[in-house]
Structure 1
Amino acid sequence: MSSKTYLLLAAAAVALIFSAEAADPDITSDFIVPAETPVNADFFTYRGFGEALSGGPKEGSFKATKASKVEFPALDGQSVSLTVLQFAPRGLNPPHTHTRSAELLVVVQGTLSVGLIDSNNTLYSQFLFKGDSFVFPKGLVHFQVNVESRYPAVAISAFGSANPGTVSLPKALFGSGIENWILAQSLNTTTDIIDKIIAANSG
């Protein structure tokens, strides 16, 4: 075997390993049942979206109601989950990423302005109406906002993972304990400004 062929095979093997780690693992049974859990039709049923599908959140500007493997254990090993996103007027889902899945969003009520930023720092934004869909590729920073000042909006997001992972950029930057001087230098500002941002977002 030539060294070139060997290098190509090694690169392919590494790519397969990394792609396998980036997705939910395959299971060797039909489904996974937590210990002491009876298996009947109720196990495969989730009833948590009823209130979430009826307009804006009762409190706050944004609410996410999830059906991941935490809330709906039958999803464990199935590589799928759903989230209902409720937006009050001017409600915002801040910039965030999903580390383990792409997100396919469909607007079911109202309108949303959405955007994503690719690895070249290019912003792709769109205005969505009821029935429109938008895909956010895995790992890319994205956001959604209801720009309406009077009407709520609702969207449903589907994920290709039972636990897609969400990293909120504001929380990751200003609530993780990174030293203020590091944030100040990274954002080309002062520690006083960083202190004010952290204080405004705490509690």
Structure 2
Amino acid sequence: MISPVIFIFSLLLSTSHAAVQDFCVADLEAPESPAGYACKKPAAVTVNDFVFSGLGIPGDTSNIIKAGVTTAFASDFPGVNGLGISLARADIAVGGVIPFHTHPGGSEVLLVVEGTIFAGFVSSANDVYTQTLQKGDIMVFPQGLLHFQINSGSSTAVGFVSFSSATPGLQLLPYALFKNDLPTDIIAATTFLDEDQIMKLKAVLGGTG
């Protein structure tokens, strides 16, 4: 009669060669789908697919929002494809803001490493949650909810952000409303904003109509 120890050991040996797909490095030459990128062939994968150095470089804040965001999503960092994680860096100059936006594909955690950031989000019940964050503080923003970050200090603020998706997506509310060709009267009817103000915002952000 075979002892239980020998039986378990033999079972482990018999399954040790089962095929396991350790990773799915993004093939950026292939089209992206809602499920992510197709996997690069293992023979074409290198260590460089698992390393990303962009977050060590400050983002460009010389723009209308005085903020720069550097992403390490699957499209930038192929090694995270399919792993349910990604990162970003946010640099916000004095007086800068990352306007109301959403990430439809993932939740966000913000870690402040420099400066002071006033941040918040709005729930689907229209409850507002805001907090002034200092160096070392973190705040979570649930998936799909509108949220924002403002530099509320006297020096540049820097935050590192993690996401629960390799492709969290991004939609900035001001751009969604005023940086397209949606007719001004439609925007006015659906937002109750004044048409003159809508036209001014379109002129600033590059919208038409």
TM surpasses 0.5: yes
Aligned residues: 172
* Candidates 174, 178, 200, aligned match of 1:174: 178
Q: Which residue of 2 aligns with 1:32?
A: 24
Q: Does structure 2 conserve the Cα–Cα contact (< 8 Å) formed by 1:62 and 1:86?
A: yes
Alignment of 1:96-175 (within 5 A): 96-148=101-153, 150-175=154-179
Q: Structure 1: which 5+ residue stretches go unaligned?
A: 1-27
Q: Which residue of 1 aligns with 2:201?
A: 197
- SS of the residue corresponding to residue 82 of structure 1 reads strand
TM-score by length of 2: 0.76
Q: Does structure 2 conserve the Cα–Cα contact (< 8 Å) formed by 1:57 and 1:87?
A: no
Moved more, 96-105 or 34-43: 34-43
- SS of the residue corresponding to residue 105 of structure 2 reads coil
- SS of the residue corresponding to residue 136 of structure 2 reads coil
How far, CA to CA, are the matches of 2:100 and 2:197 in structure 1? 20
Q: Structure 2: which 5+ residue stretches go unaligned?
A: 1-19, 28-39
How far, CA to CA, are the matches of 2:75 and 2:169 in structure 1? 12
Q: Does structure 2 conserve the Cα–Cα contact (< 8 Å) formed by 1:102 and 1:160?
A: yes
After superposition, the CA RMSD in angstroms is 1.8
Alignment of 1:30-109 (within 5 A): 30-33=22-25, 34=27, 35=40, 38-52=44-58, 57=60, 59-60=62-63, 61-109=66-114
How far, CA to CA, are the matches of 1:79 and 1:115 in structure 2? 24
CA shift at 1:58, angstroms? 5.3
- The one of the two structures with greater contact order (alpha-carbon pairs below 8 A, sep at least 6) is 1
Q: Does structure 2 conserve the Cα–Cα contact (< 8 Å) formed by 1:57 and 1:88?
A: no
How far, CA to CA, are the matches of 1:189 and 1:105 in structure 2? 32
- SS of the residue corresponding to residue 49 of structure 1 reads helix
How far, CA to CA, are the matches of 1:169 and 1:147 in structure 2? 21
Q: Does structure 2 conserve the Cα–Cα contact (< 8 Å) formed by 1:104 and 1:134?
A: yes
How far, CA to CA, are the matches of 2:197 and 2:169 in structure 1? 30
* Candidates 175, 189, 192, aligned match of 1:185: 189
Residue by residue over 1:160-198, the C-alpha shift from the partner in whole angstroms, topping out at 9 and shown as x without a partner, is 100101110001111232221111122223323221221
